[in-house]
Amino acid sequence: MLHDFYQEGEGSEEDVEKHYDKTLRLIEKLEFKKMLNKAEDQLNAIVTINAGAGGTESQDWAEMLMRMYLRWAERNKCRTRILDIQEGEGAGIKSCSIEMEGDHAFGYLKGESGVHRLVRLSPFDANHKRHTSFASVYAYPVVDENIQIDINPADLNWDTFRSSGPGGQNVNKVESAVRVRHAPSGLVVECQETRSQAQNREKALTMLKSQLYDMELRKKQEKLDVMESSKKKIEWGSQIRSYVFHPYKMVKDLRTGVETSNVQQVMDGELDEFIKAYLIEFS
């Protein structure tokens, strides 16, 4: 059809290429969604990032990953909210939790859970030596009103503390931030999104329910993996991707083998190639 459009003189070669590229992107988007066929895939997501051992180096890497996922969200028209952030000592962050609200957010991001490894010449080393840093990423679905998660209030231990981030005198002087511990599972969730302790408690409870829901999903997946011995098992928490800035430039996914030398584009949120390869292999 595009060829006929061009042949009839109704458009230039540039117009045809624009329409072709637009159509190709639409087809790829439909292919993406076709692979997102599980009930939880359509849910919003919470992405938590934690710096590994290594102090400033790993904390800086964790902040770089936070920026990468925020840029990914921007590219994919996802609304984001930083629910909790722990600033690093000197640079970077120790940890953060980001809510991603958008079309099939969890479905796209579920394959990002694991350890991310960085190799680069350190900007914090006076001798400019090469360093290796690690940070973990964990993505889980946000439960909605259609998902019932029962929690016994007696199993919850609540703490309050002052917000560590910016936000005005009230945030830092009033104990508006909250921490909840769920005794049966051992899960701990923190939230300091707003100045309201009540709102932070409500959000923390939602985050806890979401993590409990995710735990159940993973238990079911582990049972399926045992039954389907031919299917490659996904080891959550293991190293999944390497980002090499020196002595060469390469980002490589160790599960799918997908790699690219365009490191800057990846750090600017261009993750579709890695996400698609993961969904094709593991969905």
pLDDT value for 178: 95
d(CA 23, CA 5): 14
| Digit-coded pLDDT (tens) for 4-50 | 555 555 556 777 777 887 887 788 777 777 789 888 999 999 999 99
Q: Please tell me which residue, 30 or 217, carries the higher pLDDT value.
A: 217
Residue 111, pLDDT above cutoff 80:
yes
Arithmetic mean of pLDDT, 226-237? 40
Contact 254, 239 (CB under 8 A): yes
Sign (positive or negative) of CA dihedral 37, 32, 117, 57: negative
159 Cβ neighbours under 8 A, 6+ residues apart: 178, 179, 180, 181
| Digit-coded pLDDT (tens) for 188-207 | 999 999 989 999 999 999 99
Q: Which domain holds residue 163?
A: 36-282
Cα torsion at 39, 41, 45, 47 (round to 10°)? Answer: 130
pLDDT value for 234: 32
Residues in the chain: 283
40 found inside a domain: yes
pLDDT class for 127, splitting at 50, 70, 90? confident
20 found inside a domain: no
1 Cβ neighbours under 8 A, 6+ residues apart: none
Q: What is the CATH number of the domain that holds 155?
A: 3.30.70.1660
Residue 226, pLDDT above cutoff 60:
no
pLDDT value for 170: 45
Residue 218, pLDDT above cutoff 90:
no
59 three-class SS: helix
164 three-class SS: coil
Contact 107, 87 (CB under 8 A): no
Residue 233, pLDDT above cutoff 80:
no
Total structural domains within the chain: 1
